Structure 1
Amino acid sequence: MGKYFGTDGFRGEANKQLTVEHAFKVGRFIGWYYGAARDKSCKVVIGKDTRRSSYMFEYALVAGLTASGADVYLLHVTTTPSVAYVVRTEEDFDCGIMISASHNPYYDNGIKLINDRGEKMTEDVIAEIEAYLDGESGEVPLAYGDKIGCTVDYSAGRNRYIGYLISLATRSYKGMRVGLDCSNGSAWMIAKSVFDALGAKTYVINNHPDGFNINTDCGSTHIHVLQDFVKEKQLDVGFAFDGDADRCIAVDENGKVIDGDLILYVCGRYMKEHGKLTNNTVVTTVMSNFGLYKAFDKVGINYEKTNVGDKYVYENMQQNGHRIGGEQSGHIIFSKYASTGDGILTAIKVMEVMLEEKQSLGKLAEPVTIYPQLLKNVRVRDKKTAREDKDVMAAVDAVADKLGSEGRILVRESGTEPVIRVMVEAPDDATCEKYVSEVVDVIYQKGHAVAQ
């Protein structure tokens, strides 16, 4: 990760960590880098979520891009995966930009950069952008005369994406009662349009964005709202999205949460049984639940484990040709259909399994027993020193031996904070608490922890 850009773009509180000056300069560099620096014209597509500050950053980016000679195509309020889709499927776009802080509160925002393949921008380009932001690479030239860029209303691109999603459904949803929690974010119009077109009886909540209520007590990070709604309305299934709709968490007919791990099981098993699970492998992260792996073992599905972050999941899928992967948080990637996590696409694929198998979502997820999980964060003076302390490692090994095949322990360094994360999964909460404490106590005893 760089100084400004992390695994999911340049993110921070609007006009504090992320300012309009940053956005303008990002636009200036990208417009030049993909245009004048290569002696060609440059085309960039931009989407945004519903935060009030998204408009401010959109205008700043547009000013920078057009000043450097780029033509900018505006999708307006749309989802992150729609930006990736438009860039990926139209040959003449050089890159895409999504203005969103995903599941963060309204006062945060972010700039996500997407390359011409619909993937996250490569690290070498990010490094050049950061050098420009810090004034290390000099100024880039302004465009003059007929070289100055223009803006184009490109809502047609968003509509094309909606049509693409509809085309992926294998059956009509007629007779299905579906709840959608749009998190007052990017999915607020798109999700309902898709499910209505497919014939569902659609019940929608949190689809009235006002610039401030995105992700506020709603969406995939506040799933209890949809749980209550599904039970109250006696719906067949519910789907909750986050602010930019690249995540999906489902709720079954009984109001039970079907998180990303359970979605990976439901869809992965279906794909295996229908000969669609390339390499017989599902890609997960190290934070996926131990119960998911035991369920995969029972049905003979292999799995990969990557670092936390959908970026790492996608990289593994690309390198090895795997077709499905994702995170517990609901970032699910179906690489045959998309180059990024896509919440609405994920909901469509879950609906496919339900309809083709003629089973409820609760029944489909039933074979997975989710293990209790306890995670404690310990603020330390130095992450590497604490993690590699021989006594800490010995304590971790001792817990792993005691757990055997009935659980697991994971100790890792935070990617963004001076924190060591200690996580244990076991058959019961008491065992989780006992073994997490054994390791945390050693970290404190050895003087690594910072008093809080």
Structure 2
Amino acid sequence: MGRLFGTDGVRGLANKDITAELALDLSVAVAHELGGQSVFGGARASAVVGRDPRASGEFLSAAVMAGLASAGVDVLDAGVLPTPAIAYLTKRMNAEMGAMLSASHNAMPDNGLKFFASGGHKLADEIEDRISGRVGSDWDRPTGAGVGRILPFGRGAEFYMEHLLQAAPGRLDGLRIVIDAAHGAASEVGPEVFRRAGATVDVIGGDPNGLNINDDAGSTHLDKLQEAVRLRGADMGVAFDGDADRCLAVDARGGQVDGDQIMAILAVAMHERGELQDDTLVATVMSNLGLLQAMEREGVHVVQTAVGDRYVLEAMRSRGYSLGGEQSGHVIMLEHGTTGDGVLTALALAQRVVSSGRALHELAGVMTRLPQVLVNVRGVDKDRVDSDEGVLAAVGQVEQELGDQGRVLLRKSGTEAVARVMVEADSQERAQGYADSLAQVVRERLAL
């Protein structure tokens, strides 16, 4: 059996991979691991539970809350809210744990479980492994007054919106923005926060019905947002994913602004204000070389991590860095949150547009994206991709030919039997050619 937890919780096809039974058993294990002695002692442990709008979240969140309460944990049911909201509320309410039901940007049939420790922090690998080891084990069940209570937590949305407006207090009067909420968890709080900040807001993808989350909407489908921004004459647009922990943007011309560009804009702004800790931005190895080049010009150092916002966060917490994120739009502002927050990112980006008096496409011009090609190579021994002599020799040859005008990155997928070949170059043709040739070498050398 493989590891239960992936890079971002437990995820799979709802009611097949992610069942009510698994949700209940896993929640009991989480209660025992994170609740400590308070689960059965005097002071009762508590948890905040939320979900995105997908239909399966209704029965799965019920199972999670049942598992926690059966283990003696009091549960605050926050209902439909973004993942970063649940992380924030776990901290604000001094809860020992939090749980979020979401499969993020995945299609509606999937779902997943994410858990937070006290303070709203994601769980370390070793804690996840201990939780996995507890699943299905015998335990003494509390009875009578020892069982937990499940309470509605309607104030959670208001608390979260207050937090966002305090974290990004600049006004947006005069700004017209289109928000694509992906029919997801931020369909209500996202637009409402922007209205409270003074913006004129148009919403698309804001009518969740349990079945349409991420359906041709949100940060993985920007074409409708691009069209809406142009047709409505908006200053910019932002798109969230299903659980709103990521954000991508569109400028007034309809051009895409990805996570690297958003980080570049925010890093420069924070650097100018003296708010960028150690003048450092944290990004993953997948960030575009153009970001690294731009930050060097702006006097900002870049620390790179493995792919995954959890690794970005680990690096940020280890040194107290204030800003980090991923090309996909996960952006973490450590002073204000413990996880990527799409709504907060969008607010900060919009405020930079207003305060600078510059259009979004001008601000995004701080960096030039190099053409980037990613080829997924299947049917190979992915574990040898970074050690095979023939593959390494081919990579070295390409790197020598590219010089400082590009780069090569080979890595194995953390979730599939796939080796990934990524090449950046000064033209799309060169990037594609080198990526295809290296992928062929990987197929020939590492074929199973």
TM-score, structure 1 length as denominator?
0.96
Aligned mates of 1:103, 1:234 — CA distance in 2:
28
Judge conservation of contact 1:100–1:112 (CA < 8 Å) in 2.
yes
The equivalent of 2:125 in structure 1 is: 123
1:36 Cα shift?
6.9
Judge conservation of contact 1:9–1:110 (CA < 8 Å) in 2.
yes
Aligned mates of 2:382, 2:170 — CA distance in 1:
51
Q: 1:70 aligns with which of 73, 88, 91?
A: 73
Judge conservation of contact 1:378–1:449 (CA < 8 Å) in 2.
no
Aligned mates of 1:414, 1:171 — CA distance in 2:
40
Aligned mates of 1:50, 1:144 — CA distance in 2:
33
Aligned mates of 2:2, 2:303 — CA distance in 1:
26
Q: Structure 1 residues 284-293 or 158-167, which shifts more?
A: 158-167
Task: After superposition, give the CA deviation of every residue in 1:293-346 in whole Å (9 maximum; x if it has no partner).
Answer: 111122121101111100000000011111100001000000111111000000
The equivalent of 2:261 in structure 1 is: 262
The equivalent of 1:11 in structure 2 is: 11
Aligned mates of 1:430, 1:36 — CA distance in 2:
57
Aligned mates of 1:41, 1:33 — CA distance in 2:
14
Counterpart amino acid of residue 7 in structure 2:
T
Aligned mates of 1:430, 1:29 — CA distance in 2:
51
1:444 Cα shift?
2.8
**1:20 and 2:20 are equivalent in the alignment:** yes
1:124 Cα shift?
2.7
Judge conservation of contact 1:231–1:253 (CA < 8 Å) in 2.
yes
1:26 Cα shift?
1.5
The equivalent of 2:447 in structure 1 is: 449
Judge conservation of contact 2:184–2:214 (CA < 8 Å) in 1.
yes
Judge conservation of contact 1:45–1:87 (CA < 8 Å) in 2.
yes
Q: 1:49 aligns with which of 47, 52, 66?
A: 52
Judge conservation of contact 2:35–2:97 (CA < 8 Å) in 1.
no
Judge conservation of contact 2:53–2:210 (CA < 8 Å) in 1.
yes
Partner of 2:414, secondary structure, is: coil
Computed over aligned residues only, the root mean square deviation of the Cα atoms, in angstroms, reads 1.5
Partner of 2:122, secondary structure, is: coil
Aligned mates of 1:358, 1:449 — CA distance in 2:
55
Return closer, same or farther for 1:398/1:78 CA change in 2, 3 Å cut-off: same
1:445 Cα shift?
2.9
Aligned mates of 1:374, 1:121 — CA distance in 2:
32
Partner of 1:430, secondary structure, is: helix
Aligned mates of 1:42, 1:302 — CA distance in 2:
42
Aligned mates of 2:294, 2:35 — CA distance in 1:
50
The equivalent of 1:324 in structure 2 is: 323
Aligned mates of 2:382, 2:34 — CA distance in 1:
39
Return closer, same or farther for 1:350/1:35 CA change in 2, 3 Å cut-off: closer
Partner of 2:302, secondary structure, is: strand
The equivalent of 1:173 in structure 2 is: 172
TM-score, structure 2 length as denominator?
0.96
Q: 2:90 aligns with which of 77, 87, 91?
A: 87
Counterpart amino acid of residue 124 in structure 2:
T
Aligned mates of 1:17, 1:121 — CA distance in 2:
21
Judge conservation of contact 2:44–2:72 (CA < 8 Å) in 1.
yes
Counterpart amino acid of residue 82 in structure 2:
T
Aligned mates of 1:419, 1:263 — CA distance in 2:
29
Partner of 2:243, secondary structure, is: coil
Partner of 2:375, secondary structure, is: strand
1:269 Cα shift?
0.7
In structure 1, the gaps of 5 or more residues are none
1:217 Cα shift?
0.2
1:122 Cα shift?
2.4
1:429 Cα shift?
1.4
Q: Structure 1 residues 328-337 or 124-133, which shifts more?
A: 124-133
Judge conservation of contact 1:2–1:130 (CA < 8 Å) in 2.
no
Return closer, same or farther for 1:41/1:228 CA change in 2, 3 Å cut-off: same
The equivalent of 2:373 in structure 1 is: 374
Return closer, same or farther for 1:172/1:381 CA change in 2, 3 Å cut-off: closer
1:37 Cα shift?
4.2
- 1:131-170 equivalences in 2 (<5 Å): 131-133=133-135, 135=136, 138-170=137-169
Judge conservation of contact 1:99–1:112 (CA < 8 Å) in 2.
yes
Judge conservation of contact 1:330–1:343 (CA < 8 Å) in 2.
yes
1:30 Cα shift?
2.6
The equivalent of 1:218 in structure 2 is: 217
Q: Structure 1 residues 25-34 or 350-359, which shifts more?
A: 25-34
Counterpart amino acid of residue 411 in structure 2:
R
**1:311 and 2:313 are equivalent in the alignment:** no
The equivalent of 2:98 in structure 1 is: 96
In structure 2, the gaps of 5 or more residues are none
The equivalent of 1:201 in structure 2 is: 200
1:35 Cα shift?
4.3
Aligned mates of 2:3, 2:170 — CA distance in 1:
47
Return closer, same or farther for 1:190/1:344 CA change in 2, 3 Å cut-off: same
Aligned mates of 1:443, 1:29 — CA distance in 2:
41
Q: Structure 1 residues 259-268 or 32-41, which shifts more?
A: 32-41
Partner of 2:100, secondary structure, is: strand
Partner of 1:402, secondary structure, is: helix
1:365 Cα shift?
0.9
Counterpart amino acid of residue 125 in structure 1:
I
Partner of 2:229, secondary structure, is: helix
Counterpart amino acid of residue 107 in structure 1:
P
1:2 Cα shift?
6.4
Question: What fraction of aligned residue pairs are identical, expressed as a percent?
Answer: 39
Return closer, same or farther for 1:35/1:400 CA change in 2, 3 Å cut-off: closer
Aligned mates of 2:163, 2:241 — CA distance in 1:
21
Counterpart amino acid of residue 24 in structure 1:
L
Counterpart amino acid of residue 103 in structure 2:
A
1:175 Cα shift?
1.4
Aligned mates of 1:2, 1:305 — CA distance in 2:
28
The equivalent of 1:339 in structure 2 is: 338
1:198 Cα shift?
1.3
Judge conservation of contact 1:317–1:323 (CA < 8 Å) in 2.
yes
Partner of 1:117, secondary structure, is: helix
Number of aligned residue pairs: 445
Aligned mates of 1:36, 1:439 — CA distance in 2:
51
Partner of 2:219, secondary structure, is: helix
